[in-house]
Homo-oligomer: A and B are copies of this chain.
């Protein structure tokens, strides 16, 4: 028997919360300590995020699959409908709110660790069409990475691969690769390096969902079939009964 849903939802809450704490916290530290070079700030922020994300996936992966991202949960649900495996609708209805709540909690935690108000709405406007293109590419790429590994039985390398992908995508996409609707919402709660103005959130979420569609489309061309029993993202779950 699998891990009960409540425990998996807690894992998604904790994991997404830690992820946003890493993203926001390292952004604050970088902006404070390297005030003269924004590129250096982003390098510090991206390095911490790549390492932190890989470790978080290792930690919560066996419990919940370490989606940490509504786009991944939706993708797994859709692929599972085709193949008769994966997340149920009820699972998705628990995962996504847990991810969003975790992301907000992570942002608040980062603010408090750095002696800032618990909630401070971001003022960084990110409403530009070329940033949306960047965000679409970032999300499509993430979806492709996650499910290409799952479909070819290599979920064991997913923690390093997903961390590495985000570490690169911070740089090669113009939007610095949010690529995650829950994290995008969480990042509206902090007016710091990683913040996004609440008014820019809906546009980002829409293109992230488009990125999911594009990513799955490319996946279907490259990996039309899943190997038997391996279509689990991001990492295989522990069976509770062991």
Contacts and interface: CB of A to CB of B under 8 A. Distances in A.
Contacts of A168: 22, 26, 48-49, 51-52, 55
Interface stretch (A36-44, A73-81, A90-98, A184-192): A36-44
29 contacts: A7-B222, A10-B222, A23-B172, A24-B172, A26-B168, A33-B37, A33-B42, A34-B37, A34-B38, A34-B39, A39-B41, A39-B44, A40-B43, A46-B48, A47-B171, A48-B167, A51-B165, A52-B164, A54-B164, A55-B145, A55-B168, A109-B137, A110-B172, A113-B133, A114-B130, A114-B134, A115-B130, A115-B174, A227-B238
Q: Closest 7 interchain pairs by CB?
A: A34-B39, A33-B39, A25-B172, A52-B168, A26-B171, A48-B171, A115-B130
A216 interface: no
Nearest to A30: B39
Interface of A: 7, 10-11, 14, 18, 21-26, 29-30, 32-34, 36-52, 54-55, 58-60, 62-63, 109-110, 112-115, 128, 130, 133-134, 137, 141, 144-145, 148-149, 152, 154, 157, 161, 163-165, 167-174, 218, 221-223, 227-228, 238, 242
A183 to B, nearest CB: 14
B110 A55 contact: no
| Copies of the protein in its oligomer | 4
Contacts of A44: 39, 42-43, 171
Contacts of A115: 128, 130, 174
Contacts of A148: 58-60, 62
A36 B163 CA distance: 28
A134 B223 CA distance: 38
A58 B218 contact: no
